[in-house]
Amino acid sequence: MSNPSQVKKLHNKVAIITGGASGLGEATARRFAEHGARAVVIADIQEEKGQKVAESIGSDCCTFINCDVSNEDQVKSLVESTILKFGQLDIMFSNAGILSKCHQEILNFDLTAYEKLFSVNVRGMVACVKHAGVPWWKVVLREA
């Protein structure tokens, strides 16, 4: 049994979890809700899975937004819509990532596969950090 004082470590916090529809992201979304987060935004390209996870956690604190982190405009929109809806963003868990399923040799290196891997795993994480770092009041003032 958890210590009741530890259960609410994230009381009143707002979090975005990229790659939150499955695996470590899903487990983290559930844990954040258990620890009292006011809002957990699951961001993922797996729409059906993401919706199901958000519904199973509960619509009172969890929502799903379709977001491909390799698209910076989608990441920016994700962060801005979260701030506008919940008034803050306290945690950005940049968890989205893909694996390379092929063993490549240098003479036959598939640059397209490499670019996709890099755009999700590196550029996507950087876009999340960049846009999550914008002060919330700048987002609110831009919308006013």
Residue 84 belongs to domain with CATH number: 3.40.50.720
Residue 38 and residue 46 in contact, taking contact as beta carbons nearer than 8 Å: no
Provide the domain count of the chain: 1
- Domain range holding 41? 4-143
User: What are phi and psi for residue 19, nearest 5 degrees?
Assistant: 70, 30
CB-based contacts of 137: which residues, under 8 Å, 6+ apart? none
Per-residue pLDDT in tens (0 to 9) along the chain, 144 residues: 455 555 688 999 999 999 999 999 999 999 999 999 999 999 999 999 999 999 999 988 999 999 999 999 999 999 999 999 999 999 999 999 998 777 777 788 888 888 999 999 999 999 999 999 987 777 767 776
